[in-house]
Structure 1
Amino acid sequence: MTYVQASTLVVGVVASSIAWAGNVFGDAPSSINYSAVAIGSDNRLAIGFLADASLGFQLNPPGSFGIIDLKTPQGILRKRIKKPAGISFSPLVDHQSVTALAWSPHGGVLGIGKHDGEVLIWNEQTDSYQLIGKHARCVRGILWAQDGRWVITASDDGRVIAWDVEKRERRRVYGDFQVTALSLAVSQDGRQLAVAGMPGEVLIFDVASGERVAKLPAENLLPISVAFDQKGKRVFCACTPGRIVAWSLEDRRIIAKPFFPNGGPGSIQFLPGESGRIVGVGGNSVEIWDATTMKSIAQISLEVSTSGLLDCVYDSARQRLYAMTRDEIIVIAVGETELSRIETLPK
């Protein structure tokens, strides 16, 4: 079974953890409070919201998310999760926030992770919801199988779980972390699953068997976003404070640890194509590296809100990067050796 993530693979993993942490540590409330972002094959961008009481939930009611049609971006179509049979919303309103999103590879169906641990499926055509499982704590990441039959989720409860969407039951657990699992990625052939989490390590699993095949220590860094190269032979991870770490899976050694400016990065993506590049966002910076040499190819600094850049998804058809802050989605053109800001999506 092959798996896909948000843009090409998964969705809003790091955004949820960092954006939520901002609220926990008392940052000034935002009128938007984006928490997760995902791009689908049908030109649809999904955006999650943190429930925000600062304006009486007028903008961000509990369990809300938005959809942008990238063909005609005229603003966000806001949705609120309806209470389907079997779902008991947490009495703590902020626990109903959407923290992770992923479109089905076939489009029209959205996987949703919530702060209270619930994993839901939303059918856009019927505007209906199904509860397929529940973690003990906040969902940090979600990805789909290529055939749309399974989703895999990562959670603050330290568990990474594969769920059968049709049967709405747990099918497999990919090991347990001591504290939290923050980010997921799958190799292009769908055989390997990478999980970044605490305390400071990246674990590699065989997708079919669930067996752990490698443990990649981050050497006193906190890995928060993870990606494979096209051949599944290298793993890249955005780590705090301010490092991109690259491992070789053949000998499980660190091959590079370049710095990232301004304390980032918050999210990392492998860019599909023959050139082999990775892109990271964090602080007010976006940077591209050569995936083989780990040398910087291009970098751009942006004027952004105080939250900084939290997450990103890549549209390979348009060669566009959608970078998320707490209150805006910035569109960036990605060339072979240059980056340029195009616009900010309508709110």
Structure 2
Amino acid sequence: MARPGGIIERDDDDDDANFEDAVFIDADDIVEDVPIDEETLPDRDSENDEDEDEGEEGEGEEVEYEPERDDAVEVFKAHTDSVYSVSCSTGGMIASGGGDDVAYLWKICESSSSSKQLKGHTDSVSALSFSEDGSLLASGGLDGSVLVWDTQLGSLKHRLEGPGEGIEFVSWHPRGPVVVAGSEDGTIWMWNADNGKCMQVFSGHGGSVTCGRFTPNGQLVCTGSADGSLRLWNPKTAETSMVIQGHAFHAEGLTCLDVSSNSSLVVTGSTDGSVKVSQLQSGKVVGSLVGHNKSVECIRICPELPMAASGSMDGKVLIWDLQTLSVRNACEHDEGVTRLIWHPSSPLIYTAGVNAKVQLWDARTGKVQRTFLGHRKTIYDLAVSKDGDVVVSGSDDGTVRVFSCS
């Protein structure tokens, strides 16, 4: 399951220039609530046996490591199953969700007993995202619902329903209480988080919507699918403004994407091992980055420099120069990489994956700076604090670990 990463630092000058053209500021003024045409949506009762069987052949048992030390400054053990998603808010709050069908809200250096248990999903919590101001948390589940929580009270504000299958990602608009989510049923839904009403349903993908987000300027919704296409949507009309696919694009399904801070470029990764760079305005594929030989699981654009990083199950994190469209450095891992995230203000990258390690790399040299041990099984998700001094990881071992990088 692929999930996009956190909010990229915005180019304030660019955003100011387009502020009047932004799609919405106030949630009530964004779009009128629209009736849903059920005939345009995918058949929710149909099952894709081929997708269900995909990846089962040849899979071995999960490896459990015995770390020589535990570098975590805090270990959160409230979950009773694998932790699939973690997120950090601007106020220092942490959210985690997993296979036990619950999410938790907690703060570093507070006892586990003071954490808030968020119950409401009936299947695994697969995606989490804080609103820009940290006052709201959206949790997406494999039950097909998105729940919006008040982070101060730890209480459920709205249950957002509509998708027929599991949620793959959730993303907040950068300036308003509006959330979008992509589903395994091929649809994307957009809701007003203040009143809980559905605003739009985006239908057009022919497979699971594996990754997506609002562009940093708020003018488009960008989504990638297992059908091998990237779609750009107008959130005001729910119409597709651009479809990127075909021989110049990925040969297989998309797993991850990220958008540049000025909303001009999108980078995408695929199960075919390819990385593509496309222009959002023209839809032209301007770069085909070659270097991975297995599925690309994560991709991020650096907030400080014109670089991107991609992580793959081949054990490589490749650092791409977006000006020359070439490999700048390679960070070699001994197992597949599932997540990576840039430091918010330095050319440093945190990575994690099958080897149960969190590692910090210098993107300029490709050299590892620190290795954080403590997890016993695959790490599924990473989040970093706004100052970059704390990294949080969620693992198949059922724990959330906090590592200090200061």
Task: Give the one of 63, 73, 76 matched to 2:144.
Answer: 63
1:194 CA displacement: 0.5
The one-character-per-residue Cα deviations of 1:25-73 (angstroms, maximum 9, x if unpaired) are 49999433232232331214433222xxxxxxxxxxx312345555x4x
> Which letter does structure 2 place at the counterpart of 1:237?
S
Q: Please state if 1:208 is matched with 2:287.
A: no
Which residue matches 1:162?
232
Higher RCO (CA 8 Å, separation ≥ 6 residues): 2
Deviates more, 1:228-237 or 1:202-211: 228-237
Which residue matches 1:290?
362
Q: Please state if 1:228 is matched with 2:339.
A: no
Gap regions ≥5 residues in structure 2: 10-50, 62-80, 83-98, 102-123
Q: 1:270–1:278: 8 Å Cα contact kept in structure 2?
A: yes
Q: 1:164–1:171: 8 Å Cα contact kept in structure 2?
A: yes
Taking structure 2 as the reference length, what is the TM-score of the superposition?
Answer: 0.64
Which residue matches 2:32?
none
Deviates more, 1:288-297 or 1:275-284: 275-284
Q: Decide whether aligned partners of structure 1 residues 203 and 24 sit closer, same or farther in structure 2, where only a CA change above 3 A counts.
A: closer
Which residue matches 2:212?
142
Which residue matches 1:46?
138
Q: Decide whether aligned partners of structure 1 residues 267 and 6 sit closer, same or farther in structure 2, where only a CA change above 3 A counts.
A: closer
Which residue matches 2:191?
122
Which residue matches 1:133?
202
SS in 1 for 2:174: coil
Higher Rg of the two aligned structures: 2
> Which letter does structure 1 place at the counterpart of 2:316?
R
Which residue matches 2:33?
none
> Which letter does structure 2 place at the counterpart of 1:63?
G
Q: 1:277–1:288: 8 Å Cα contact kept in structure 2?
A: yes
Task: Give the one of 93, 101, 105 matched to 2:170.
Answer: 101
Q: Decide whether aligned partners of structure 1 residues 113 and 322 sit closer, same or farther in structure 2, where only a CA change above 3 A counts.
A: farther
Q: 1:42–1:107: 8 Å Cα contact kept in structure 2?
A: no
The one-character-per-residue Cα deviations of 1:318-345 (angstroms, maximum 9, x if unpaired) are 8544434469673635534xxxxxxxxx
Alignment of 1:154-193 (within 5 A): 154-176=224-246, 177-193=250-266
Q: 1:186–1:192: 8 Å Cα contact kept in structure 2?
A: yes
Q: Decide whether aligned partners of structure 1 residues 68 and 326 sit closer, same or farther in structure 2, where only a CA change above 3 A counts.
A: farther
Task: Give the one of 146, 150, 161 matched to 1:82.
Answer: 161
Q: Decide whether aligned partners of structure 1 residues 158 and 282 sit closer, same or farther in structure 2, where only a CA change above 3 A counts.
A: same
Which residue matches 2:41?
none
Which residue matches 1:344?
none
1:137 CA displacement: 0.9
Q: Among the aligned pairs, what percent are the same residue? A: 20
1:128 CA displacement: 1.2
Alignment of 1:268-347 (within 5 A): 268-273=340-345, 275-283=346-354, 284-303=356-375, 308-316=378-386, 319-325=389-395, 330=400, 332-336=402-406
> Which letter does structure 2 place at the counterpart of 1:120?
W
> Which letter does structure 2 place at the counterpart of 1:47?
S
Q: 2:340–2:352: 8 Å Cα contact kept in structure 1?
A: yes
Q: Decide whether aligned partners of structure 1 residues 107 and 301 sit closer, same or farther in structure 2, where only a CA change above 3 A counts.
A: farther
Q: Decide whether aligned partners of structure 1 residues 332 and 120 sit closer, same or farther in structure 2, where only a CA change above 3 A counts.
A: same
SS in 1 for 2:293: coil
Q: Decide whether aligned partners of structure 1 residues 331 and 77 sit closer, same or farther in structure 2, where only a CA change above 3 A counts.
A: farther
Q: Kindly tell me the number of residue pairs found equivalent between the two proteins.
A: 296
Q: Separation in 1 of the partners of 2:149 and 2:401? A: 13
Taking structure 1 as the reference length, what is the TM-score of the superposition?
Answer: 0.74
Q: 2:379–2:393: 8 Å Cα contact kept in structure 1?
A: yes
Gap regions ≥5 residues in structure 1: 11-19, 51-61, 84-88, 91-95, 337-347
Q: 2:8–2:260: 8 Å Cα contact kept in structure 1?
A: no
Alignment of 1:232-251 (within 5 A): 233-251=306-324
Q: 1:38–1:313: 8 Å Cα contact kept in structure 2?
A: no
